[in-house]
Amino acid sequence: MNITVDVESNLVRILKSEDTDNDKKITVDDKGPKRFYILSVTGKQFEVCETFHLSVLLQELYLAKESGKSKITLTDKQIFTKPIDRISSLIKNYFWDGLTRRIDEANLENAIKDSKTKSDKNYIYIPFNDEQAFNYFKDVEKRRKELNLSVIKLPESITDDYLQTLNKNPGLLVLKMRKDRRGNLRGLPFVVPGGRFNEMYGWDSYFESLGLIEDGRLDLAVSMAENFFYEIEHYGKILNANRTYYLNRSQPPFLTSLIKELWKNSERKNKNWLKKALAYSIREYNTIWISADRLSPTGLSRYYGSGSGMPPETEPDHFNEVLEPFANKHGLSLVEFRNKYIENQISDPELEEYFMHDRSVRESGHDTSYRLEGISAHLNTVDLNSLLYKYEMDIAGLIKKEFRDSLKLSGVTYTSKFWLKRASKRKKIINELMWDEEKGFFFDYNYITGKKTGYESATTFYPLWANLASKKQARILINKALPLLEEAGGLTASTEKSRGPISEKRPERQWDYPYGWVPHQMLLWKGLTNYGYKKHAERLAYKWLYTILRNFVDYNGTIPEKYDVVNRTHKVFAEYGNVGTEFDYISKEGFGWMNASFKVGLKYLNKNLINKLNELIPPEWIFNSDRKSKT
């Protein structure tokens, strides 16, 4: 097929014929004939059948219309493409660009958008000691009245009291700027997750960078690292994300892992850059992760966020179940109590403790989960301490290999022995406090009660990714923990037993059963490979990629934030729903780390499995030993 068609008439016809639920998409839920005849400009007709090919046709017609074309030439290769080719091409050539932001005049209108909060102006906050950026944005504020900007310089010391005042005027935190070849300042680009998450997030960026590297976008991944260095320099930490309401918390630490990936894939090795990168990594490690706030008496670290009150980025009714008992206690309606609490007109010590833990949960990235709710700040979690063990090992390895085992930073000389000693100590404590050989799990440790939590979570596999587990522990984890957490569509965030019963008073939490998340999948694939369990990694990668591709094919190219891996569906309604599912005609972004997981996941499959995936053969038809798969 190689025909020229009128865009508008065919677009109107296909929507009328196939989009029976009028959502501007063609999916398996539509009740149309699933057979459409394209009409060429010469009057010839060509048949297109099946949901996937019809949705591809709809997307191509819409893209042509959006670009102002009245006619378009269509080919077999476009319309009857294989699913893997289609999704891979969209991610590489369309979605990454759709998710890329810069904070400068030319890109500000897109970067400043924030659906999570409402303000009378578009506030931009500049670090105290970045005079260049302050002058630049003040000039933009003066000249571009239509942007409705208010540019504010942050104080040199950002206190919790000051953060409370910022919640009334939340805004965007600038990132690194650099002069281009013409001498003009430009913001360094970064990738956002997508949808309501229109800023650069801490751990999302690591997984996104792995996908960018697969797609030959090392430059963009390096730029993300440079923006992290800027955050450490000017905001004191790698931020949860670059908005003011995230200033008091970080996210799971992956900086050394990102640096290693960038270094490994760089054709030109710049030792000065690596030295700078290690300096920022060590600075973040010292000032955040082993600081007084986050280092517990056990010698292990915890997640923690300073401040008070409800996180301002949440929906107004998000904490209704939490606030209702306190409203009753104070003799107020729920709405009255919430408003008074937000305005600091009322306080309750028990509620303040709840939100102390809630901020810790949000720093963990696992927001939210019954694993952490109400106790997070008291936990030495498996995930955080595995990540920090890897920091210590990564720094040791890079110093030894690239700097002849001696790296001097700010007057201090570091050797690999120093960092190996720290890693060995952390590993010893993790094994003593967290490992349960009988149950086959690494459990979080509550240092207040002095007990393991016993909560069965996918984070039990982080020690495999960090190369912290022994070979015996790896074998036990795979024999005991994996069967409890592996589902039809991949790895679930927790077991149903640990999550417990769900009710109106105890609603679902999105980082629990039955939901599956990118970090858990990708870290487990690599962890299994580290210990020689390649067949397990292959099976789990296939399950996850099948889930992505099945939903992509059946639902007009949908690539969401997360999945229900028990039922292999993107139709998730926990908390705020599922980002990446609301769009017309064609997704412009997919979702950042989900895009990356697909590109990286393909590396774990051989050609035979890739062919089977293209044919959408369910994993249970391939992996006969899988007793938990659903048809």
Rg (Cα) of the chain, in Å, rounded? 25
Is the Cβ–Cβ distance between 213 and 599 less than 8 Å? no
| pLDDT at residue number 222 | 98
Summarize the confidence of residues 276-299 as an average pLDDT. Answer: 98
Nearest partner of 565 among 583, 581, 580, 545, judged by Cα: 545
Asked if pLDDT for residue 501 goes beyond 50, the answer is: yes
At 625, is the pLDDT very low, low, confident or very high (cuts 50, 70, 90)? low
Place of tokens 């094994």: 431
| pLDDT at residue number 343 | 85
Comparing 323 with 625, which gets the higher pLDDT?
Answer: 323
**Contacts of residue 514, Cβ cutoff 8 Å, sequence gap at least 6:** 487, 492, 496, 564, 565, 566, 567
| pLDDT at residue number 624 | 73
Summarize the confidence of residues 255-260 as an average pLDDT. Answer: 98
Question: Cα–Cα distances in Å, from 409 out to 83, 259, 280, 412, 565?
Answer: 50, 17, 10, 5, 46
Identify whether 367 is a catalytic site residue: yes
Asked if pLDDT for residue 566 goes beyond 60, the answer is: yes
Summarize the confidence of residues 570-598 as an average pLDDT. Answer: 95
C-beta contacts of 89-93 below 8 A and 24+ residues apart: 90/557, 90/587, 90/590, 91/211, 91/215, 91/559, 91/590, 91/595, 91/598, 91/599, 92/215, 92/216, 92/599
Summarize the confidence of residues 78-107 as an average pLDDT. Answer: 97
High-pLDDT (> 90) share of the chain, %: 91
Asked if pLDDT for residue 327 goes beyond 80, the answer is: yes
pLDDT in tens, 125-142: 999 999 999 999 999 999
DSSP for 139-171, written as a single string: HHHHH-GGG-EEEEEPPSS--HHHHHHHTTS-E
Query: Average pLDDT, whole number, for the chain?
Result: 96
Interhelix angle 51-66/7-18, rounded to 10 degrees, is: 140
Is the Cβ–Cβ distance between 331 and 482 less than 8 Å? no
Asked if pLDDT for residue 631 goes beyond 50, the answer is: no
Nearest partner of 221 among 205, 232, 244, 234, judged by Cα: 205
Summarize the confidence of residues 33-54 as an average pLDDT. Answer: 96
| pLDDT at residue number 505 | 86
**Contacts of residue 322, Cβ cutoff 8 Å, sequence gap at least 6:** 351, 354
Asked if pLDDT for residue 448 goes beyond 90, the answer is: yes
Angle 478-481-483 from CA coordinates, rounded to 5° = 80
Identify whether 561 is a catalytic site residue: yes
Summarize the confidence of residues 439-466 as an average pLDDT. Answer: 98
> Structural domain boundaries of the chain?
2-81, 320-379, 479-621
pLDDT in tens, 195-216: 999 999 999 999 999 999 999 9
| pLDDT at residue number 72 | 96
Instruction: Decide: pTM greater than 0.75.
Output: yes
Determine which one of 231, 456, 538, 561 is catalytic.
Answer: 561
Asked if pLDDT for residue 629 goes beyond 50, the answer is: no
Q: How far apart are CA 190 and CA 175, in angstroms?
A: 9
At 613, is the pLDDT very low, low, confident or very high (cuts 50, 70, 90)? very high
At 630, is the pLDDT very low, low, confident or very high (cuts 50, 70, 90)? very low
Backbone angles phi, psi at 443, to 5 degrees: -110, 150
Which residues on adjacent β-strands are paired with residue 186? 178
Is the Cβ–Cβ distance between 456 and 498 less than 8 Å? yes
pLDDT in tens, 346-382: 988 999 999 999 999 999 999 999 999 999 999 999 9
Summarize the confidence of residues 616-631 as an average pLDDT. Answer: 73
| pLDDT at residue number 191 | 98
Q: How far apart are CA 548 and CA 520, in angstroms?
A: 15
| pLDDT at residue number 272 | 97
Length in residues, the chain: 631
Comparing 613 with 164, which gets the higher pLDDT?
Answer: 613
Asked if pLDDT for residue 280 goes beyond 60, the answer is: yes
Asked if pLDDT for residue 80 goes beyond 80, the answer is: yes
Angle 216-284-275 from CA coordinates, rounded to 5° = 60
pLDDT in tens, 307-322: 888 888 887 788 888 8
| pLDDT at residue number 627 | 45
| pLDDT at residue number 1 | 77
Place of tokens 């700040």: 377
Summarize the confidence of residues 554-576 as an average pLDDT. Answer: 96
Determine which one of 367, 383, 394, 444 is catalytic.
Answer: 367
Environment class of residue 207 by beta-carbon count within 10 Å: exposed (0-12), middle (13-18) or buried (19+)? buried
Place of tokens 């030792």: 271
